[in-house]
Amino acid sequence: MKKYFLMGLTLMIMAGIAEASARVIPRMIISVENTDDHVQAIAVKRYADELKHRLAGRIDVQFFSNARLFRDKDAVQALEQGKIEMAVPGTWNIAQFEPNVGVFLLPFFYGRPAETSYKVLEGAVGKNINKRLETSLRIKVLGRWIDLGHAHLFGMRKKITRPEDIKGLRVRVAGGVANKLRIQAFGGEPLIVPWPDLPEYMQRGRIDAVLTSYETIKSAKLWEKGIRYAFEDQEYFPQYVPLVRSSFWNKLSPDIQRILTETWEKHVEYSRKQAAEAQARAKNILAENGVEVVVPDPQIIDQWRRALMSMQGDFVKAMNIDPGLVREMTDGF
């Protein structure tokens, strides 16, 4: 009897283990670096929350903001190493791994509206870039890119009213070969300064201007550190790219893959609208805090775009971008 009891107990334990194993569901960790009140984090959290509802009991969706797991510049490697399943880094963080993403920082886009970027993204060139991303990084581009908003120049002591006024200024840039070359073309001196160090640089007078967005200036209240002027020249249009690790994606059933892509697409237009509204609100807040906004004449911007375009070949070479891709892009306009 004891023998049969032990056998039965063993079978019950094994059945319990099997049942517990069956209840283990795949985990989907989503990482972003921005704080919860940033437009990127808000958009991705809204997506994650809906996934949790639609995939309850099938996928364990976990969202982490504020760089609690990784900064966006490290997210691509984290995906490759299997440490996370999804990230939504900015194009400036991806270009180091796939240079052709940098086409959106070329002179061609200087002073252009957001619709120009959308047209390229949704055409053959955009599809080509996404395919290259998927191949070179072993990831799945989940869908359309979402926005941060245009980057402009913000001055401290000198008011910038035209691109010629940039000459001789020390301009802080977050990084990127194109940003450095563009500032140099205007006669300025680009300086790469880590974001945490920027207030000290400003207080010590080591920089004269900052290349960033209204929302970013607002988030750090940089008018308190000396920002006095905004030159709204739409230098480039930063966006975020939804990336999912291929080894995770390929294990999902077709219906779960469909839910991931459908849910992302559902939120794209609203996320873009929220980003535009956030930039507009930030612009107003800057004005309320004494920042003078200069909106240059479109003809002046067009003239400078043409001047920059004469150097675009140098940009393409320095950034290691496929010249054929650039020709295809410009031929479409």
CATH number at residue 171: 3.40.190.170
Distance CA 71, CA 281 (A): 26
Q: Count structural domains, the chain.
A: 2
Does 271 share its domain with 309?
no
In this structure, are residues 85 and 243 in contact, taking their beta carbons and an 8 Å threshold?
A: no
Does 130 share its domain with 231?
no
Closest CA to 68 of 30, 97, 102, 37: 30
Does 202 share its domain with 120?
no
Closest CA to 207 of 262, 154, 260: 154
Tell me, yes or no, whether 250 lies in a domain: yes
Tell me, yes or no, whether 190 lies in a domain: yes
Does 130 share its domain with 100?
yes
Task: Give the pLDDT score at 35.
Answer: 82
Tell me, yes or no, whether 331 lies in a domain: no
Does 317 share its domain with 260?
no
Does 22 share its domain with 171?
no
pTM confidence score: 0.86
Tell me, yes or no, whether 94 lies in a domain: yes
Task: Give the pLDDT score at 4.
Answer: 53
Does 40 share its domain with 68?
yes
Distance set, CA 309 to CA 117, 185, 302, 314 (Å): 17, 11, 10, 10
Q: What is the pLDDT of residues 278-310, one digit of tens each?
A: 999 999 999 999 999 999 999 999 999 999 999
In this structure, are residues 55 and 85 in contact, taking their beta carbons and an 8 Å threshold?
A: no
Task: Give the pLDDT score at 17.
Answer: 43
Q: What is the pLDDT of residues 133-143, one digit of tens each?
A: 999 999 999 99
Range of the domain at 294: 151-238+282-326
Tell me, yes or no, whether 209 lies in a domain: yes
Low-confidence ranges of the chain (pLDDT < 50): 15-22
Does 183 share its domain with 115?
no
Tell me, yes or no, whether 244 lies in a domain: yes
Helix 124-137 with 114-121: angle, nearest 10 deg: 70
Task: Give the pLDDT score at 19.
Answer: 43
Task: Give the pLDDT score at 23.
Answer: 56
